[in-house]
Amino acid sequence: MKTQSSATASTSIAVTAPRERRGPGTALALLGVASFSLTFPATAWGLEGFGPWSLVAARCVLAALVAGGCLLALRVPLPERRHLPGLAVVGAGVVLGFPLLTTLALETSTTAHAAVVVGLLPLTTAVLSSVRMGSRHSRRFWLAALAGAAAVVVFTLTQNGGALTAADGCLFAALLVCAAGYTEGGRLARMMPGWQVIGWALVLCTPLTVPIAAVALTSEPVHPTWHGIVGLLWVALGSQFLGLIVWYRGMAVIGIPRASQLQLAQPLLTLVWSALLLGEQFTAAAPLTAVAVLVCIAVTQRS
C-alpha cells in the first residue's frame, strides 16, 4: 500500500509540480527550447564542412566525451539495470535517430521546412507521455495543443509553398523517435539528474558512434570551414548535451506535457535564426503566428 502511494505521488509530481517550482522549471525548459531552436541552422552550417554521417557521428562522439568526462570526474555510479531500457530509448531517439534523420533531411530541405517537425513534436510528445505515464488532461489542454500545433504547421508549410518533399519521410520519422526519447528522458529525470540521463545515453551509444565516425570521416569529403566547425560544436555541445540537460530537468519539474507545449514556440525561433544566420526569408505571417502560439502556450499552462 505504501509503494502504491509513493508511485502515485511520483506521478503527481511529474504532471503537476507545486506552483513555487513551476517558475524555475519553466525557465529551464525554455532554455532548452532556445538551445534546440538553433539546431537546424547550426546543422546547415555543419553540412558546409562535413558530410551528414560525419556530422552526426562527430557530434555524438564529442558530446559523449564531455558527458563521460563529467560522469567520471564526479564519480557518478553506473545507472541501475532497471534504467537501461529507458536510456536505450533516449539514445536511439535523441542521440542517434533525431540528429541523423533531420541531418539527412536538411541536405535537400530548408531549415524553415524542417521546422514542421518541431511544430508537431509537442503534440506527439504529449500523446506519447500520456500513454506511457497514464496521465490525463482536460479537453481545453488538448484543444489548445492541437490549435498551437496546427498554427505552426500551417505557418511553416505556407513558407514553403505547402509542398512535401522526399525529405518529409525522414522528418516525420525523426518526430516519432524524438518524442519517444523525450518521454523516456523526462520519466528518467524524475529518478536521476537530467544531465546524467543524457550523459549515460551518450556514453551508451559510443560503441556505435565511434566506429561510424571513424568510417564516415574517412569516406565522406571533409572541408573544415568556420561555419562547419561552429555548427558542429553547437550541435554537439549546445543541442546534444547542455540543451538536453536543462530540458530534461525542466520536464521533471513541470511535467512532460506542459514542457512539450513550450516547444510550440521553437519553430518560430528557428525561422528567426534561419533568417539571421542563413539569410532565409519568410512572410509577415510570422508575428501573427507567434501571437497565436503564445496564446496556446498560455492556455496549456493554465489547463
Alpha helix segments (H runs only) across the chain: 2-15, 19-37, 39-46, 52-73, 84-90, 98-106, 111-133, 139-159, 168-188, 194-204, 206-219, 226-233, 243-254, 256-262, 266-273, 285-302
Lowest-confidence region among 7-11, 91-95, 130-134, 181-185: 7-11
**Long-range CB contact pairs, 275-281, < 8 A, 24+:** 277/41, 277/45, 278/41, 278/44, 278/111, 280/110, 280/111, 280/112
**pLDDT tens digits, 145-200:** 888 888 888 887 776 677 667 788 899 899 899 999 988 988 898 898 888 999 99
72-109 tens-digit pLDDT: 999 999 999 999 999 999 999 999 999 999 999 999 88
179: its cell numbers? 518524442
Burial of 168 (0-12, 13-18, 19+ CB in 10 A): middle
Q: Are 240 and 199 in contact (CB under 8 A)?
A: no
